[in-house]
Amino acid sequence: MVDNKLIDVTFKKYGLRKTSFRKNLFELFHNSLNSLSAKEISLRFSTSADKVSIYRALDSFEKSGLIHKVPDKNNLLRYSLCKSECTPNQHAHDHAHFLCSVCDETFCLDDFTLPSTKSHNGFLINDLKIIMEGTCVSCKSI
Amino acid sequence: MVDNKLIDVTFKKYGLRKTSFRKNLFELFHNSLNSLSAKEISLRFSTSADKVSIYRALDSFEKSGLIHKVPDKNNLLRYSLCKSECTPNQHAHDHAHFLCSVCDETFCLDDFTLPSTKSHNGFLINDLKIIMEGTCVSCKSI
DNA sequence: ATATTAAACGCAACAAAATTGCGTTATAAA
DNA sequence: TTTATAACGCAATTTTGTTGCGTTTAATAT
């Protein structure tokens, strides 16, 4: 369960309306160790949430800078909670993403440092991502 | 236009049947500077190619090691021609991928070296990709 | 050259993911 | 409390990719 104060502060910071659905969605992200797809979100809601609301909420959360897209093994839309430093315009994701070949989950490896380059052969680089594939900690030990 | 000898050699190497459709598809990849999605392929064929044939050919080309999946800005299946060193089992893609925010195209940056790590915090890394976003050379100069 | 066999084709149907439209409801601000 | 607007929820639609299956075509053996 997430503290009401955190919800207030967060929603205010990101300029989001506090509807009960979006508060639940935020809680879900907050309590999830890794990323979420629309389908996973749908399954985790007891009261069946409309998929359109899910998609629109995700879109809105992303635009505000609260969550960010992460890669997915099956090309699904998939999101993770942003770090507190992120703003709508500037995301501070200096971490790598890890896709587990066994469980298909996506993990953020927060402490993996990315190379910092601004351009390469005339290509202007605004954003650089590292995506790893392999076996995650949990699946390794099975 | 691609030389018939190249087609012969390539299809033999990768164990592919020389159907007229697949020869055209190979030519298309060979003449493309960057990557192709199923939709783009479809549009580039004058004689409307069946989409199922496109998907199956792409799958077959990929499995043989002739082409490889590249990331796409809109979560589409997207492929690029492999380097000659690639085999069905082992791909030698030590390059970064660049996604242009303006034209949505994906480019392979062949000479961008990737870090080589085999594990991180208990995660076993089989494959590591770098994806850059920004403005490509062509779009920059517009 | 011809027959054989197995892959590739092409069409229809299907499935999953995501989007659009629109009238209704709920939130934030005036 | 009123008002403007964002969010909701339902249906319908679009887009992307897949499966099934009978037919065709290419590679191999005869």
- The answer to whether the C-beta of A12 is closer than 7 A to strand D is no
Q: For B129, which of A107, A131, A135 is closest by C-beta distance?
A: A131
Are the Cβ atoms of B98 and A123 closer than 8 angstroms? yes
Nearest to A30 by CA among A56, A7, A64: A7
- Structural domain boundaries enclosing A53: 4-140
- Least confident range from A81-85, A131-135, B101-105: namely A81-85
Q: Exposed (0-12), middle (13-18) or buried (19+): which is A33, by Cβ within 10 Å?
A: exposed
With tokens 């995700």, the residue in question is: A58
Backbone angles phi, psi at A70, to 5 degrees: -125, 155
- Interacting residues of A122 by C-beta distance below 8 A, sequence separation 6+: B137, B140
CATH number of the domain within which A126 lies = 1.10.10.10
Q: Over chain B (142 residues), what is each successive 10-residue block's mean pLDDT?
A: 85 93 95 90 83 96 91 91 68 75 81 79 87 88 78
**Is B76 within 8 Å of B39 (Cβ atoms)?**
yes
Nucleotide nearest to B19 (CA to C1'): D26
Nearest to A98 by CA among A136, A132, A53, A59: A132
Three-class SS state of A108: strand
Nearest to B120 by CA among A104, A130, A112: A112
- The answer to whether the C-beta of A108 is closer than 7 A to strand D is no
Chain A residues with CB under 8 Å of B96 CB are: 120
Q: For A133, which of B120, B127, B134 is closest by C-beta distance?
A: B127
- Interacting residues of B93 by C-beta distance below 8 A, sequence separation 6+: B68, B82, B83, B86, B108
Q: For B124, which of A71, A129, A134 is closest by C-beta distance?
A: A134
Into how many domains does chain B fold?
1
For A77, the closest chain B residue by CA position comes to B75
What is the helix (H) or strand (E) element at residue A21, kind and residue range? helix A20-31
Each residue's pLDDT tens digit, A8-54: 999 999 999 999 999 999 999 999 878 999 999 999 986 778 999 99
Instruction: Quickly list DSSP for B53-67.
Output: HHHHHHHHHHHHTSE
For B128, the closest chain A residue by CA position comes to A132
What does the DSSP 8-state code read for residue B85?
T
Give the Cα separation of B108 and B82 in Å (integer): 10
Please tell me the predicted confidence (pLDDT) of residue A88: 62
Interface membership of B102 toward A (CB under 8 Å) = no
